[in-house]
Amino acid sequence: MVHGVALVDEYGWLRARNWQQVIEEPASVPAEIARYLRAENRYAAAALAPLDALRKALIAEMRGRIREDEAEPPMKDGDWLYYERFRKRQQYPLFCRKPARPLKGGKAKEQVLLDGPAEARDHDFFEFGATQPSPDHTRLAWASDTNGSESYTIHVRDLATGKDHDRIRRTSGEVIWGRDGRFFYYVELDSSQRPYRVMRHRLGEAQKRDTEIYREENSGWFVGLDITQDDRFGFISVHDHETSEILLLDLDDAREVPAPVFPRVPGIEYEIDHHEGRLIIRTNHGGERKAEDFRIVALPLGETDLAKARTLVAETPGRMLLSVNVLKDWLIWSSLGEEGPRIHVREWATGNEQVFAPRAAIGDIAATIGLEFESDILRLSFSSPVDPEVTLDRDLRTGEEKILKIQEVPSGHDPSRYVVERVFAPAHDGESVPVTLLRLATTPKDGTAPCLLYGYGAYGHAMDADFETDRLSLVERGFVYAIAHVRGGLEKGFAWYRGGKREHKINTFHDFLAVADFLVAQGYAAPRRIVAHGVSAGGMLMGGIANMDGGKFAGIVAEVPFVDSLNTILDPTLPLTPPEWVEWGNPITDKAAFEAMRAYSPYDNIAARHYPPMLVIGGLTDPRVTYWEPAKFVARLRARMTGGGPILFHTAMKAGHGGASGRFEQLDDIARVYAFALAVTQGQEASI
């Protein structure tokens, strides 16, 4: 009983009692559950078998758009240039370096520090975490996840011999070195996969001898590590989804006890960098009222009263300040509002500012801050839904730009063949929902086209208008690819996020349905030829709209979907439950939050009604959305629905939240989704 309500969970048996072990050791899943999941996989595979030829064609197309020996532009760090590159036909990258200043007349010789294909050879899943050279560049701390659980093992490699010496298990994958290179800090996970304490490791010693530097006693808070751009301080970042605290670490002193910059104040968030004895702070602290779209201030080291801070960048309501970075001569920040993303640069000495915007009317821009503090170079990347990414280095002092890389599409790509639009759909309460559309110029706007409509809408995460080659396989087949920038994101500032959070979460679902109606009304899409697609919290959105008005859609794809929302948020032992209470509300202590979640939680609102064809995907080692959420949702859906379907369920038995880890294996996951979308929009659901 919860708040006087009896919650009956007839499929609760699908949750393994040893679920913590299953996340890290997928082979330990109880036999009865393993049989059930594998039977579901066989059923889905058999249903999708008629689409095998289409899936293979899609994979070949998508792979043809990838340059297989792709390399990232190098980043200078002291005497070295560090970069990643791929070998042809290989799934995982190489982490490499070469001298920044080769001997006169000589060619810089590459050193492969990490060979991804070799490290991944004996694993079904493999992903790198941190790859952090020591301050003297003689060692490399590197982390890897070999099962999709997001539990990383840190290794220390001697770069002269290529041999690994130290091994630290059950970490978040983050590393910061002490300045002398003899110790480093890392974050350890607890038994529920939460990052909860910071440890200091001295090279050559066993993990059991590591020293606890900081422990977070509140299970609702995340713990992370970072370093200031000038390498002067490390810092521990402790936060939930609406409050933060930062503790400074003196990287010169391995004995130092971390000191908080400010005490925790509920609802106040901040992040820091350091510049010549001042902390440069991005915060929503605004004095008498919160600066909910954030501002940037400066405060001398040691001062703890934010009211005494000097404002560097004032809040602009409706335009969210997303980040702040510092170079010796430059202050750099990014922002996002309805008119799109921007990168801002101010020279410390003169106050002169530069603003960089996407090069396309509807596009994306990103800035990468280098590894050095005394630099005038800012790396910028530009793309749009039709324009491949261009990466360049901009000299902030001279204005000179050097193009480093233009994303290559080996099979060919002509941006002029496509149309990109930004339209606004009227919502149920008078708001307007931004929608990004991509289609062929020859795809008619006459109400006949199929459409894939993607949505997320949570955690203040904005959907970028960037270049994704996979989408072209649908667009080339006459699809309109649409992104619904629903409430819960940041596309229209913090208020847009707040409007899809906690008691307002239902707005996210209404917004998505309003966008679907708008696309039909305006002729962009045919009635009941729209496929809805969402991942993770976007998968909750998919479950919600299926229950509310699934008949609008030809099909729904929900990947690693947060569909057992209420049961999960009622269980504080699960990995992300305590941190999520500020996002969704705490239904354990708050009856209003309980009733609000109970009203939209997809698993709790499955009804005796017609449901469209659905493809639901989970991951056995997923610590974010545990595998039993989609499993239970599908089981109850099949038992209660009165018509429609089919309902297909696939579990990645050796992967977690992000699916397959290899870059080509990921294409198989995408092709499954796209083949399903093509089939249901062509009236072939009866054959799958």
Q: Does residue 141 form part of some domain?
A: no
Q: Does residue 641 form part of some domain?
A: yes
Q: Quote the number of domains for the chain.
A: 1
Q: Does residue 384 form part of some domain?
A: no
Tokens at 318, concatenated: 């409706």
Which of the residues are catalytic?
A: 536, 622, 657
pTM of the predicted protein model: 0.97
Kindly give the pairing relationship between strand 390-395 and strand 340-347: unpaired
pLDDT at res. 105: 67
CATH code, domain with 654:
3.40.50.1820
Kindly give the pairing relationship between strand 530-535 and strand 643-644: unpaired
SS3 41: helix
Whole-angstrom distance, CA of residue 89 vs CA of residue 91: 7
- Identify the segments of the chain with pLDDT beneath 70: 105
Residue pair 43/647 in contact (Cβ under 8 Å)? The answer is: no
Q: Does residue 133 form part of some domain?
A: no
Q: Does residue 424 form part of some domain?
A: yes
Residue 646: CB atoms within 10 Å: 20
Q: How does pLDDT run across 300-357, given as a tens digit for each residue?
A: 999 988 889 999 999 999 999 999 999 999 999 999 999 999 999 999 999 999 999 9
Range of the domain at 625: 23-64+412-687
pLDDT at res. 586: 96
Tokens 């978040």 belong to residue: 172
- For 104-132, the three-class secondary structure string (H helix, E strand, C coil) is CCCCCCCEEEEEHHHHHCCCCCCEEEEEE
CA diameter of the chain: 80
Tokens 């400066």 belong to residue: 298
Q: Does residue 97 form part of some domain?
A: no
Q: Does residue 76 form part of some domain?
A: no
Tell me how far CA of residue 284 lies from CA of 267, 279, 288, 317, in angstroms: 8, 15, 11, 12
Whole-angstrom distance, CA of residue 133 vs CA of residue 177: 8
- For 403-442, the three-class secondary structure string (H helix, E strand, C coil) is EEEECCCCCCCCHHHEEEEEEEEECCCCCEEEEEEEEECC
Q: Does residue 171 form part of some domain?
A: no
Q: How does pLDDT run across 4-27, given as a tens digit for each residue?
A: 999 999 999 999 999 999 999 999
